[in-house]
Structure 1
Amino acid sequence: MAIIHKTTMSPGKLELLAAWLPAQPWYLPTGRPPALARAGGFRLDDPEGEVGIEFMVVTDTSGEEPTAYHVPLTYRGAPLAGAEAALVGTTEHGVLGRRWVYDGPHDPVLAAQLLALFHGRAVPQAQSLSDTPDPTVTARYDGPDPAVADADARAGADADALTVTRVLGNAAPATGSLGEVTAGWTGPDGTAHRGVFASLAAR
């Protein structure tokens, strides 16, 4: 179970993302620096209790219309070998000390737990509360039983079958998808939205 500490991070998550987002190929440039606000998300637990896993939604209001980005993040107490290109930045956590923050889809722990969510082996957790399931996050999976062992999944097996939605909307699930993870977020005007955060395709 992940423990959510009510403390400070310096720099904060939005500061890290404001510097990182414009360099991403899926970012929609506005000609201005990102103006980010937290808009929703959820967490998954790392069975080993070492890695923080957060599926974060931020809205960028720097353009004519707000854009919602889904930014899965992992938080580690030491650098992840071979993942230098996926590093969002480092931050000082008020309780845990130095944390290395990574773009989550490139972290094998997040990939394995996202697959576990599809396969009914992980329970989505509230973004800001400890030991509190989030029943608003739903997972559908219509494929065969997983053919790989959990240990192989933790090493990143089948990760290429996962697609993480980066720019959120209310579009229908992709044709031929074996399943989707669906969750909600809140727009800058308070409007509730819901959409596909990740999908799993046939190999």
Structure 2
Amino acid sequence: MALLHKADITPTKIDLLTSWAPAQPWFVGEADVSVTNLAAYRFDDPEGQVGIETILITAGDGPVLQVPVTYRDAPLAGAETSLITTMQHSVLGERWVYDATGDPAYLAAVANAALAGGRQAELTIEIDGQLVVREPTAVVAGSGTPGSAGVTPPAVAEINIHQEPGATIVTAGSLRIVVARVLGDEDVLANLAADAATHEVLAGTWAEQPTLRALVLVAVA
């Protein structure tokens, strides 16, 4: 369960992604316009310390882009190159925002979801002292067998990131995780699946995408 807060955030998520995303090697779209937030989904952090959110955006007339981010209450050692910015949260205080492909909390969460048939976290928000369930704007599920053994979170020192056209490939110990960055007409994961004979996929839907779309590929060596 992911607990959301009614809070003021500076900079806003839209502002930080508008300034950060166009500088990334996978960016496709108009670099001089504010991005549009289409949908998002979250995973739970078992330790309850890290916010794990994937935001689906567009920039002008460009395709849908997938941007997983994590929110932490302190810097993540060894992940300086993945730091996007810091933000001020009126409830939680200062937060360090990371490109989640360099954060072991995200890698463990998305691997577990894909391999064990998991789903996105249930969203709740406190209103007048009561926890209210909020409907997700994106629904995701893994293709693996529900209830299968979980994945040990990879060590930060073992994370290696490689960019391919439209995708980010992460190796972390025995895990190989391919995050589709560009969700356009071409399925970039289908082109990369041949490199991972045995794999599971995280797929999802949102308002503009009513049929399942592959989002992340996960393989274990």
- Give your verdict on TM over 0.5: yes
CA contact (8 A) 1:73 1:104 kept: yes
Q: Which of 167, 174, 183 is residue 168 of structure 1 equivalent to?
A: 183
List per-residue Cα deviations over 1:125-181 (Å, max 9, x = no partner). Answer: 256767668693121138xx66xx75x425365475100111113537434461111
1:116 corresponds to which residue?
A: 112
- Aligned match of 2:41: 42
Alignment partner of 1:185 is 2:206: yes
| Rounded Cα–Cα distance in structure 1 between residues aligned with 2:45 and 2:95 | 16
Match of 1:196 in 2: 214
Residue by residue over 1:85-105, the C-alpha shift from the partner in whole angstroms, topping out at 9 and shown as x without a partner, is 111111101100100000001
Task: Give 1:202 deviation, angstroms.
Answer: 5.4
Q: Tell me if the contact between 2:117 and 2:144 (Cα under 8 Å) persists in the aligned partners.
A: no
Per-residue CA shift, 1:61-119, capped at 9, x if unaligned? 1xxx3321100000000011111111111110110010000000100011011111123
**CA-to-aligned-CA distance 1:40-62 (integer Å, 9 cap, x gap):** 1210000000000001111111x
Question: Tell me, what secondary structure is at the counterpart of 2:64?
Answer: strand
Report the structure, 1 or 2, having the larger strand content.
2
> What is the match of residue 95 of structure 2?
99
Task: Assess, with a 3 A threshold, how the Cα gap between structure 1 residues 26 and 160 changes in structure 2: closer, same or farther.
Answer: farther
**Is contact 2:50-2:71 (8 Å) kept?**
yes
Question: Which residue of 2 is the match for residue 138 of structure 1?
Answer: 141
| Cα contact 1:184–1:193 (8 A) shared by 2 | yes
1:168-198 Cα offsets, whole Å, 9 max, x none, are: 13537434461111112345xxx75642110
Equivalent residues of 2:35, 2:57 under 8 A apart: yes
Q: Secondary structure at the match of 2:40?
A: strand
Aligned length: 191
Question: Which amino acid counterpart does residue 2 of structure 2 have in structure 1?
Answer: A
Provide the residue aligned with 1:19 in structure 2. 19
Answer whether contact 2:200 2:218 (CA < 8 A) is retained. yes
Q: C-alpha separation between the residues in 1 aligned to 2:213 and 2:118?
A: 20
Report sequence identity in percent.
Answer: 32
Q: Within 2, Cα distance between the matches of 1:26 and 1:7?
A: 31
Write the mapping of 1:29-68 to structure 2, written as runs, cut at 5 A. 30=30, 32-61=31-60, 65-68=61-64
Q: Compared with structure 1, are the counterparts of its residues 36 and 8 closer, same or farther at alpha carbon in structure 2 (3 Å cutoff)? A: same
Structure 2: runs of 5+ lacking an equivalent = 126-131, 157-171
Contact 1:40–1:184, Cα closer than 8 Å, also in 2: no
Per-residue deviation, 1:121: 7.3
Deviates more, 1:88-97 or 1:178-187: 178-187
In 1, the alpha carbon distance for the partners of 2:42 and 2:121 equals: 5
C-alpha distance in 1 between matches for 2:154 and 2:20: 26
Q: 1:93 to 1:37 in 2, by over 3 A?
A: same
CA distance, structure 2, for counterparts of residue 125 and residue 66 of structure 1: 28
What is the alpha-carbon distance in structure 1 between the residues aligned to residue 133 and residue 46 of structure 2? Answer: 13
